[in-house]
Amino acid sequence: MTLEIGVDETFAESVADRLRSIEDRLGDAAFGHTPFVTEAASHIINAGGKRFRPLLVVLASRLYPGADDDAAERAALVVELTHVASLYHDDVMDEADLRRGAESANHRWSNSVAIMVGDFLFAKASSIVATLGVDYVALQADTFARLVEGQISETRGAQGDDDPVAHYLRVLADKTGSLIATSAVFGGMVCGAPPEVLRALAAFGEELGVVFQLSDDIIDIDSDSTGKTPGTDLREGVPTLPTMLVKAGREPADDRLRHLLAGTIDDPDDLAEALALMRAHPAMAAARAEVERRAQVAKQHLAVLPEGHARDALHELCDQIVARSA
């Protein structure tokens, strides 16, 4: 996904300048005392990425004049390093072979190395956030706790009478929404936004994070037009909103599809059949409707923000995320 800001050209270029500077500083932030640590810590960073969280920091920092660009960049480094560190740990949990089209760190080296490199990057993020102040440190710590709790909840799965879909959405809020919310709040803190705006940014960011992940759920099934390989989560038996909606149903006509979705799908013919059945199923329309609904909720939180190019760009981000899975 290419995130472009279709607002004022001068504003868009100034944001792009900050993102280029942040990209340069990411490499420095991953530098270790040995060449191996530097190589391993830079592995996922060098593979690229959307840099969605740094973008949110920069945009929110432009809501009010007078933001310190260096502080905004440091805040962006904190959230991106935290995100990248969590990816190292996720790949170990998921036993992944690839990350962003490149060999995953756990596959290239070992699970132990990947875990320790993730810890190293978390430490780097902590060192940088300490330069921003106690309030930033406290928010970063709370966010890290939610990331871990979300991973634990995902690993355990829904328990007892838990509704599986509600459980899944809580996991998304913790694992994805919390750090995206912190990205927006960090930007607001940098420019001195008042408490009511910081609260709105937090609510906006958390909702946006869930929207972002739910749109990925749809793309995994219906991604022929995006250049991504369809059915990756489907093949590995990873729960997504559309597949969970199918599993929650009781219609006899869906028995074959529910059978295919019961675990991993190793046979290419079975995968092709599952993709075809999923694409024709009403669960896809229901998932898209949920993405659109949550995007509207996210945009409503922006009403208290000051008018201007930054708020317009945040609105546009919502629309772009919905459009990528439409």
The three-state DSSP-derived secondary structure of 134-195 is HHHHHHHHHHHHHHHHHHHHHHHCCCCCCCHHHHHHHHHHHHHHHHHHHHHHHHHHHCCCCH
CB atoms < 10 A from the CB of 222, how many?
20
Q: Which class is 1-170 in CATH?
A: mainly alpha
Residue 149 CA to residue 153 CA, distance in Å, equals: 6
User: Per mean pLDDT, which range of 6-10, 174-178, 189-193 is the poorest?
Assistant: 6-10
Higher per-residue confidence, 231 vs 90 = 231
SS3 category, 98: strand
Return d(Cα 326, Cα 184) in angstroms, integer. Answer: 25
pLDDT in tens, 14-42: 999 999 999 999 989 888 888 888 887 78
Q: What is the mean pLDDT of residues 193-217?
A: 96
* Across 165-186, average pLDDT: 96
- Picking from 173, 169, 204, the residue whose alpha carbon sits closest to that of residue 287 is 169
The 3-state DSSP class for residue 102 equals strand
Per-residue pLDDT tens over the stretch 75-123: 999 999 999 888 887 767 666 555 555 667 676 667 778 888 888 999 9
Contact partners, residue 213, CB within 8 Å, separation at least 6 = 172, 176
CA dist 293 and 297 (Å) reads 6
What average pLDDT score do residues 122-128 get?
A: 94
- Positive or negative, the CA dihedral 156, 162, 165, 171 is negative
What percent of the chain is helix, strand and coil (3-state, nearest 5)? 75, 0, 25
**Tens digits of per-residue pLDDT, 232-275?**
888 888 899 999 999 988 899 999 999 999 999 999 999 999 99
Share of the chain above pLDDT 70, in %: 90
Q: Which fold has domain 194-325?
A: Farnesyl Diphosphate Synthase (1.10.600)
Same fold yes or no, 1-170 and 194-325: yes
| pLDDT at position 226 | 45
Distance CA 244, CA 238 (A): 10
Helix (H) or strand (E) holding 103: strand 102-103
Q: How confident is the model at residue 230 (pLDDT cuts 50, 70, 90)?
A: confident
Average pLDDT, the chain: 89
Q: Which residue has the higher pLDDT, 137 or 324?
A: 137
Question: How many CB atoms neighbour CB 174 within 10 A?
Answer: 23
Domain spans of the chain, in order of start: 1-170, 194-325
At 225, the pLDDT band (50, 70, 90 cuts) reads very low
Residue 227: pLDDT band with limits 50, 70, 90? very low
Q: Which of 298, 303, 314 lies closest to 56 in space, CA to CA?
A: 314
| pLDDT the model gives residue 97 | 58
